[in-house]
């Protein structure tokens, strides 16, 4: 393009000099032609931009992160002149389109069109544009190239993933349903002091033999139910200080970690509470799948910028007098306040697990990790390239 522009300029200058020295119809015709060629080329690029048509669509505009969705794209020439050198630039920062480059070039004859049927995947949670980003129109002589942004872009609402976990390796055996020998997530029965007459079909192990001997008839103990184990999930929505892509990745991993754990327990009948600060401290109880689905719908609009630290959220929760509760904290930073709140939770007989979503392997962070592990906390570091499912199921070692 630089060469053609240089030749055009030299042509204008040369024809102008020729016309000045020699005059005549031919020399002036060449001079006017040299001037009109760039003008016509520019007008051609403007004309093509306003006349060509682009159509794009998806089957769904509310999608789940990581899922492939049908995407169609059509570029058409509905005019009477040929279109040459029309480049289509696709958005690739937050989405992926199968079988396409970042830029595709088309040349269309009159009444011609190009159609592409493919798949599109959204890589991050949130609401953003996908598909075609801009159109670059170049004239036949490669003198002008104008990049026009698409005014009507495809906008999609991307929901976070919900990982299906077969087991939860980060959970203590006290409430791990994969360890039925000790405790499970189901309701347990416990002997009570009350007794009643034995009924056919009662478990013979419940027969109170001493009481039965006194009254000469079978007496059975009553049983009452113990409350289920409880899980409290703290989601740290503090502002993350990284580059733009790093922020998006860290935010997604925090939300998806909490969703995966809450889904795991709700499917097994174990209640959980999700605590976070977004325009005020919020606590979402999850007792069943309906509660989980209600929380899931709010996740796409979650914004990071909490004013209350996760350490303070833990301290407030501990005022309830929790004992024997499993605490899970998803955060991007270990702080002294979090360390002190964790010690308080552990001293109260609770179990505590920290999911550290960070690539930080500095000496200060490693020192804090070691101190918290010595105090009894379990810490799992989730880096940008780690799969959350591998961490949560225990397929990787503890930090």
Q: What is the pLDDT of residue 190?
A: 44
Measured distance CA(283)–CA(270) in Å, rounded: 16
- pLDDT score, position 187: 40
- Closest to 45 (Cα-Cα) out of 140, 139, 166: 139
* pTM attached to this predicted model: 0.72
Task: Please give the pLDDT value at position 203.
Answer: 67
Domains located in the chain, CATH noted: 2-48 (no CATH), 51-159 (2.60.40.10), 190-225 (no CATH), 231-393 (3.40.50.410)
Residue with tokens 């630290």: 309
**C-alpha–C-alpha distance, residues 211 and 150, integer Å:** 85
Separation of alpha carbons 356 and 399, rounded Å: 10
Please tell me the distance from the alpha carbon of residue 153 to that of residue 163, in angstroms, as a whole number. 30
Query: How do the pLDDT tens digits run along the chain, 399 residues long?
Result: 677 667 666 766 777 776 677 777 777 777 767 777 878 888 878 887 777 788 899 999 999 999 999 999 888 888 888 877 788 889 888 899 987 777 788 788 888 888 889 999 999 998 899 998 888 887 777 677 778 778 778 999 999 999 998 889 888 764 444 443 333 333 444 444 567 776 776 666 677 777 777 777 777 766 544 444 679 999 999 999 888 889 999 999 999 999 999 999 998 888 999 999 999 999 999 999 999 999 998 888 899 999 999 999 999 999 988 888 999 999 999 999 999 999 999 998 899 999 999 999 899 999 999 999 998 999 999 999 999 999 998 765 444
Using CA atoms, how far apart are residues 27 and 36, in angstroms rounded to an integer?
Answer: 14
User: Is the Cβ–Cβ distance between 339 and 309 less than 8 Å?
Assistant: no
What HEC string does the chain produce? Answer: CHHHHHHHHHHHHHHHHHHHHHCCHHHHHHHHHHHHHHHHHHHHHHHHHHHCEEEEEECCCEEECCCEEEEEEEEECCCCCCEEEEEEEECCCCEEECCCCCEEEEEECCCCEEEEEEEEEECCCEEEEECEEEEEEECCCCCCEEEEECCCCEEEEEECCCCCCCCCCCCCCCCCCCCCCCCCCCCCEEEEEEEEECCCCCCHHHECHHHHHHHCCCEEEEEEECCCCCEEEEECCCCCCCCHHHHHHHHHHHHHHHHHHHHHHHCCCCCEEEEEECCCEEEEEECCHHHHHHHHHHHHHCCCCCCCCHHHHHHHHHCCCCCCCEEEEEECCCCHHHHHHHHHHHHCCCEEEEEEECCCCCHHHHHHHHHHHHCCCEEEEECCCCCHHHHHHCCCCCC
How high is the pLDDT of residue 238?
Answer: 94
The CA distance from 136 to 106, in Å, is 10
Q: How far is CA 11 from CA 17, 24, 30, 79, 143, in A?
A: 10, 17, 9, 31, 13
């Amino acid at each position: 393009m630089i060469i053609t522009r240089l030749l055009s300029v030299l042509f204008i200058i040369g024809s102008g000099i020729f016309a000045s020295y020699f005059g005549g119809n031919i020399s002036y015709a060449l001079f006017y032609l040299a001037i009109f060629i760039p003008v016509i080329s520019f007008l051609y690029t403007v004309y093509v931009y306003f006349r060509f048509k682009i159509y794009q669509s998806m089957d769904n505009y509310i999608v789940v992160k990581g899922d492939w969705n049908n995407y169609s794209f059509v570029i058409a020439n509905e005019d009477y002149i040929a279109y040459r050198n029309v480049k289509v630039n696709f958005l690739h920062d937050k989405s992926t389109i199968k079988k396409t480059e970042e830029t595709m070039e088309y040349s269309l004859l009159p009444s011609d069109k190009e159609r592409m049927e493919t798949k599109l995947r959204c890589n991050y949670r949130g609401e953003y544009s996908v598909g075609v980003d801009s159109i670059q129109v170049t004239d036949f002589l490669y003198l002008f190239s104008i990049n026009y942004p698409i005014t009507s872009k495809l906008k999609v609402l991307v929901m976070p993933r919900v990982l299906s976990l077969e087991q939860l390796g980060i959970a203590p055996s006290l409430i791990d349903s994969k360890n039925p020998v000790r405790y499970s997530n189901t309701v347990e029965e416990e002997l009570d002091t009350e007794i009643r007459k034995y009924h056919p079909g009662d478990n013979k192990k419940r027969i109170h033999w001493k009481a039965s001997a006194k009254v000469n008839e079978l007496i059975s103990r009553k049983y009452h139910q113990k409350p289920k184990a409880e899980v409290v999930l703290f989601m740290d929505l503090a502002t993350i200080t990284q580059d733009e892509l790093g922020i998006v990745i860290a935010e997604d991993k925090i939300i998806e970690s909490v969703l995966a754990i809450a889904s795991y327990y709700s499917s097994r009948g174990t209640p959980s509470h999700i605590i976070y600060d977004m325009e005020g401290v919020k606590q979402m109880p999850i007792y069943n799948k309906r509660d989980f689905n209600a929380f899931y719908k709010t996740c796409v609009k979650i914004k990071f910028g909490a004013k209350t630290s996760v350490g303070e959220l833990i301290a407030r929760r501990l005022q309830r007098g929790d004992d024997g509760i499993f605490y899970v904290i998803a955060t991007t930073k270990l702080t002294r306040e979090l360390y002190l709140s964790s010690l308080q939770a552990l001293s109260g007989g609770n179990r505590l697990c920290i999911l550290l979503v960070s690539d930080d392997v500095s000496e200060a962070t490693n020192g804090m990790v070691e101190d918290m592990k010595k105090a009894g906390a379990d810490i799992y570091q989730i880096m940008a390239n780690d799969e959350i499912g591998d961490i949560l199921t225990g397929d990787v070692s503890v930090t």
